[in-house]
Amino acid sequence: MGMKLLVLHGPNLNLLGEREGTSGRRFEDLNSALRARAASHGIELKIVQSNHEGLLIDTLHAERRNIAGVVVNPAGLFGSYPLRDALEAVGVPAVEVHLDGARAKQSVLKEVCAAQLSGKGFDSYLQALERFAQGEFTGGRESAKDPAPGKQKTIGRKAEASSEEEEETEAPAKTIGRKTDALATAPAKALARTAEAGGGGKTLGRKPQEDKPAKAGKGKTLGRGSKETPAADMLTRALVREKIADRLSGKLTSGALASWARSQWLEVQRGAPAESGYRDMLEDSLQTLTLSTMPASRLTDEQLVDMMTQLEE
Ligand SMILES: O=C1C[C@@](O)(C(=O)O)C[C@@H](O)[C@@H]1O
C-alpha cells in the first residue's frame, strides 16, 4: 500500500441514509465507495466516525505520524475551533468535505484545510481522495494543478452557488503577517512541537546547540554536494534553501515541498543528523514549510525568500 489517509466523519453521519429516508445511500455505502476508490489507487484508509468532537481530535493526534493526509467532514462541527486547531497543530494536509453545501461556507475548518469540496454528495469525498492520489496536497506525485509560484488561485468557485450546486473551493490565499519573522513559531506550531517532542518544553530563539549523535546506516541521501554540506546524509541549511529555490522556480510544487519538510522534520525528531549549531533553526523552518499548504499559514514567495536569507545568516 502507498499512502495512508485518515477519513473523519463527524456527528450523525453514521445515520446517513436513514435520515434521508430509505432511498438514500447509507453510511456503509459511502465507506465502501471510499475503500474501493482508495484501493484503486493503492491508498490505505483509516475511517473513523464519531459524534464526539474530542474523539475526532484524539484520533487526529494519535494518527498524525502515520498518515499523509486527512479527509474530514465535520458535519455539525463545522464551527469547531478545537477541531480546527487540531488540524492546524498536527500539520498534516487536510481536505474538508461536505455532502451538501449548506454549511460549507460558514465552516471555520476551511482556513486550515488545503481545499474544501462540498455539494457533490459522495463525490465530495471521492474527489478529495483523487486529489490526494494525484499528490496535489502531499507531493506524492507532481500535480499540474499546483499554482505557479506567487499565483495562488481560486478554482471553480461559484460565489452564488446554492446548496444544491457543486462547489469546489481552493482555500483562500491569505497573506499572513509573517513577513519579517518567517521562522517564528505560531502557537499551533508550538503545540505541535511540544507534542512531537514529548512535551519537552523547548523554547524558541535558542542558542545554537550541539547535535544529537547521527544515526548510522540510514542510507538516506539528503545532502547534494553543496559546499556547506558537512555530510551526505545530514540535514543542512543549504539543502533547505535548495528545496525552497526549487519551489520558487516551479520545480517543486508547494505540496511536495511541505511533504518533504514534514518527512525531514520527523526524521530530525527521531534523531537524524542536522547541521551543527542549526538544528533548532532547521526544525523551525521545516515546521513552517510543513504548514505552508494551509491557507492560514501559506507563505508568499517573498516570505520564502526571507526564509532562505535567514537560513544563510
Ligand atoms: O451532518 C451534516 C452533513 C454535512 O456535513 C454534509 O456532509 O453535507 C452538512 C452538515 O450541515 C450536516 O450537519
First to last CA, the chain: 42
> Residue 48's domain is classified under what CATH number?
3.40.50.9100
The cell for 30 is 459511502
Quick one: pLDDT at residue 215?
38
Residue 47 domain-assigned (yes or no)? yes
Quick one: pLDDT at residue 2?
85
Number of domains in the chain: 2
Region 225-236: mean pLDDT is 63
Gap from CA of 98 to ligand 1 centroid (Å) = 6
Quick one: pLDDT at residue 167?
63
Whole-angstrom distance, CA of residue 46 vs CA of residue 65: 13
CB of 76 shorter than 6 A to ligand 1: yes
Q: Are residues 31 and 121 in the same domain?
A: yes
Which of 91-100, 152-161, 214-223, 300-309 has the highest average model confidence (pLDDT)? 91-100
Q: What is the pLDDT of residues 189-208, one digit of tens each?
A: 433 333 344 333 332 333 33
Sheet holding 69-73, edge to edge: 44-49, 4-9, 69-73, 94-98, 115-118, 167-170
Q: What is the DSSP letter of 208?
A: P
Q: Which atom of ligand 1 is nearest to the CA of 13?
A: 1
CB of 79 shorter than 6 A to ligand 1: no
Whole-angstrom distance, CA of residue 7 vs CA of residue 60: 10
Region 79-96: mean pLDDT is 97
Whole-angstrom distance, CA of residue 86 vs CA of residue 175: 21
Q: Are residues 159 and 13 in the same domain?
A: yes
Residue 180 domain-assigned (yes or no)? no
The cell for 137 is 496536497
Which residue has its alpha carbon closest to ligand 1 atom 1? Answer: 75
Whole-angstrom distance, CA of residue 85 vs CA of residue 100: 24
Sign, Cα dihedral of 188, 193, 199, 201 = negative
CB of 83 shorter than 6 A to ligand 1: no
Q: What is the pLDDT of residues 144-156, one digit of tens each?
A: 333 333 333 322 2
Q: Which residue has the cell 539543502?
A: 239
What ipTM is given for this predicted complex?
0.90
**Domain end marker among 140, 170, 200:** 170
**Domain end marker among 135, 170, 205:** 170
Residue 179 domain-assigned (yes or no)? no
**Structural domain range at position 101:** 4-170
Q: What is the DSSP letter of 112?
A: G
Q: Which atom of ligand 1 is nearest to the CA of 76?
A: 13
Gap from CA of 165 to ligand 1 centroid (Å) = 15
Residue 106: pLDDT over 80:
yes
Q: Are residues 160 and 201 in the same domain?
A: no
Gap from CA of 102 to ligand 1 centroid (Å) = 7
Q: Which residue has the cell 467532514?
A: 73
pLDDT band at 271 (very low <50, low <70, confident <90, very high): confident
Residue 284: pLDDT over 80:
yes
Q: Are residues 236 and 264 in the same domain?
A: yes
Quick one: pLDDT at residue 141?
53
Q: Are residues 36 and 140 in the same domain?
A: yes
Answer for the pair 287, 312: CB distance below 8 angstroms, yes or no: no
Quick one: pLDDT at residue 140?
58
Q: Are residues 46 and 141 in the same domain?
A: yes
CB of 184 shorter than 6 A to ligand 1: no
Gap from CA of 129 to ligand 1 centroid (Å) = 19
Q: Which residue has the cell 466523519?
A: 9
Torsion, Cα 305 308 312 313, to 10 degrees, reads 70
Residue 126: pLDDT over 70:
yes
pTM over 0.90: no
Residue 176 domain-assigned (yes or no)? no
Q: Which atom of ligand 1 is nearest to the CA of 98?
A: 7
Whole-angstrom distance, CA of residue 170 vs CA of residue 294: 11
Instruction: Give the residue from 50, 62, 75, 71 showing the smallest Cα distance to 5.
Output: 71
Region 212-224: mean pLDDT is 38
Of 78, 96, 117, the one to substitute when testing ligand 1's pocket (max ligand atoms within 8 A of C-beta) is: 78
Q: Using CB atoms within 10 Å of the CB of residue 138, give its burial: 0 to 12 exposed, 13 to 18 middle, 19+ buried.
A: buried
Q: Using CB atoms within 10 Å of the CB of residue 205, give its burial: 0 to 12 exposed, 13 to 18 middle, 19+ buried.
A: exposed
Residue 10: pLDDT over 80:
yes
Q: Are residues 45 and 127 in the same domain?
A: yes
Q: What is the DSSP letter of 297?
A: G
Residue 235: pLDDT over 50:
yes
